[in-house]
Amino acid sequence: MKDNKAQATLFIIIAIILFLGIVIFFVLKGNILFGIPSELEPVYDYYLNCMEQETKMASIIIGQQGGYIEGPYFSPGTEFMPFSNYLNFVGIPIPYWYYISGNNLVKEQVPSKENMENELNKFMENRISNCDFSKFAEKGFEIEIEKDAEVTSSIKTNIIKVNINQNLIIKKGDSTWTEKRHSVDVQSNLGKLYDLSKKIYKNFKEKAFLENYAVDILRLYAPVDGVKIQCSPAVWDVEEIRANLTNAIEANIPFIKIKGNYYDLNKKENEYFIQDIGEKTDIPINFLFSSNWPTKVEVWPNDQGLLIADPIGNQEGLGVLGFCYVPYHFVYDLAYPVLIQLHTSDEIFQFPVVVYINKNRPREPIEGSNLENDANELCLYKNTEISVSTYNTNLEPIQTKIEFKCFDEICNIGNTKIENGNYVLKEKFPQCANGYVIASASGYETKKEIFSTINPGSLSIFLDKKYPLEIEMDSTEKAIVTFTKDKEVKTISYPEQNKIELSAGQYEIKVYVYSKSSIKLEGTSEEKCIQIPKSGIAGILGINEDKCFNLEIPSQTLETGISGGGTQNYFISESELKSSKKVKIIPNKFESPKRVEDLQINYNKVETENLEINLK
């Protein structure tokens, strides 16, 4: 019995010694088990704050661009159907969630939440090296941070959880602290806005409610079918009809609301504009259309730009009627974009759809049980051997990740590996005509090369190196700065974000400067009318009557307005990027907006005024 107690005591002593040894080891190493040393905390707090700011920037871009950062490859429209797969909204390219392609095919580009998370992860991995620790280095801190990082994120209803796998070593004096796994929780309504957007989109597909409003607008503002009591031909100008319809759409679309408590209705008749998606919402939702957006208006029969209807009753033998009348019936194709915006106090999520009236009829409802772009079986059948070599613009081999995109499906192929002094990937690709080989590497712009994989082959891809630059502007006011190159857009919100990575090339640089204002939009009460068939025999003859009601829009105050900016085309060479640390942008200053009209004037000035750009 005593031997057993002695053995137990011995084991306890050994365990204590081992524990103390582990504690001493980590203390001597500088990594205290109970947390980071207090004198090193400011550096780590800055690192986590930097990650939080980059996450917020990613969520802003995702919200502004309909759930995308990079977005699908551009597909143009045609004269037959003028819609590309992007809607250009104040310089921001937003992928359509639903549109009619140039060859008259229905297309969907609804991102899944997983796709959004993957785009956020890539954005963070490319931006993670932007954290500037120079102010801590000046105070005697030594910071060693791994260049490459692995980021995983999870978009929840009111929060974005981000996990970063990146080795970070902080030293000062005798204190050293090391950590590889980091996490930040960023407050964001991105998930909430996205979930509600999907419900609205599902209702749009299944109920075609925007098309039903479009039919009412068409019949109210254009001659479709009816009767005129006159003996001369009835004539309408097609261009005038097109202008009337465009203006009517622009005026009526903003009145549409999703059922909720973010607006006021004074009369029951106003419910005409309210769409019930099965639940009430407190999130403000706007429906927008601009007459500057691509719009299709076609009408038949069309006689060289005129609609002509001949009278009945003045022909020989028809005098018994005692009067003349002009029956008419015209057939329209009408298609136009609608941008749907959801917003909280400081976040926005927006996505466009195309509304389509085909031969006077709304499109057929589409079942919405499967909204997202589901993966097909393309990636499962890789049977064409392709060799890919990757270099930078100085012809130096670089290691890259290779993906292949065919239609909306992206397949992971692998990484290039060193072979005879070059980085090469020899793998089997799915068969696809005119797909895209995508090469991405840390510190370089992602490159896409069109390539057919029907037959074996090889290609070389040259990637542009990215250089970090600090954005400097004279003003400390909030500004949105965009750099557009080859249809790729990079956006920062200044001064919260003042770092950007650019590669050599031709850029369109655009700046919107915002200042505080107090522009009050007065509440309005507007009478809206729609035509409905009259009861009895008059309705059978196609005679309509107006049904009118009032719509009340409450007053609201705009707290910010465009007060400066400009647009400049500017070529940046690689030699300039190598020798520069900053890009200084001097925007033009406009008069501070005091009226709603001033906002439109200043917005137009952004498009026409130049910027002064200096690299230094």
Q: At what angle do helices 41-64 and 190-207 cross, to 10 degrees?
A: 10
Residue position matching structure tokens 């190493």: 29
The pLDDT of 273-278, averaged and rounded, is: 90
In angstroms, rounded to a whole number, what is the distance separating the alpha carbons of residues 526 and 505? Answer: 51
Residue 363 backbone phi and psi in degrees, to 5: -60, 160
Q: What is the pLDDT of residues 163-198, one digit of tens each?
A: 999 999 999 988 899 999 999 999 999 999 999 999
Q: What is the pLDDT of residues 289-332, one digit of tens each?
A: 999 999 999 999 888 888 988 887 655 444 444 457 788 999 99
Quick one: residue 369, left, alpha or beta (phi over 0 = left, psi -120 to 50 = alpha)? alpha
In angstroms, rounded to a whole number, what is the distance separating the alpha carbons of residues 318 and 323? Answer: 9
In angstroms, rounded to a whole number, what is the distance separating the alpha carbons of residues 542 and 534? Answer: 8
Token representation of residue 142: 């030594």
pLDDT classification of 205: cutoffs 50, 70, 90: very high
**Which CA distances in Å does 573 have to 200, 462, 502?**
45, 16, 10
With contact defined as beta carbons under 8 Å apart, do 183 and 163 qualify?
yes
* First-to-last C-alpha distance (Å) of the chain: 83
Q: Is 329 helix (H, G, I), strand (E, B) or coil?
A: strand
Q: At what angle do helices 209-221 and 190-207 cross, to 10 degrees?
A: 60
In angstroms, rounded to a whole number, what is the distance separating the alpha carbons of residues 215 and 369? Answer: 26
Asked whether the predicted pLDDT for residue 204 surpasses 70, the reply is: yes
In angstroms, rounded to a whole number, what is the distance separating the alpha carbons of residues 131 and 497? Answer: 11
Average pLDDT in the chain: 83
Dihedral through CA 215, CA 221, CA 222, CA 228, nearest 10?
120
Asked whether the predicted pLDDT for residue 161 surpasses 80, the reply is: yes
pLDDT classification of 263: cutoffs 50, 70, 90: confident
What is the residue type of 51?
A: M
| Per-residue pLDDT, 543 | 55
| Per-residue pLDDT, 313 | 63
With contact defined as beta carbons under 8 Å apart, do 256 and 273 qualify?
yes
With contact defined as beta carbons under 8 Å apart, do 166 and 128 qualify?
yes
Quick one: residue 613, left, alpha or beta (phi over 0 = left, psi -120 to 50 = alpha)? beta
Query: Which of 65-69, 119-123, 547-551 has the lowest average pLDDT?
Result: 547-551
pLDDT classification of 475: cutoffs 50, 70, 90: confident
Identify the CA nearest to 488 among candidates 162, 182, 129, 123: 123
Quick one: residue 19, left, alpha or beta (phi over 0 = left, psi -120 to 50 = alpha)? alpha
The pLDDT of 111-136, averaged and rounded, is: 89
For residues 383 and 103, which has the higher predicted lDDT (pLDDT)?
A: 383
Q: What is the pLDDT of residues 337-390, one digit of tens each?
A: 999 999 987 899 999 999 999 999 988 776 544 444 444 567 878 889 999 999
Percent share of the chain, pLDDT over 90: 48
Q: Is 195 helix (H, G, I), strand (E, B) or coil?
A: helix
Token representation of residue 522: 């007065």
| Per-residue pLDDT, 229 | 76
Q: Is 311 helix (H, G, I), strand (E, B) or coil?
A: coil
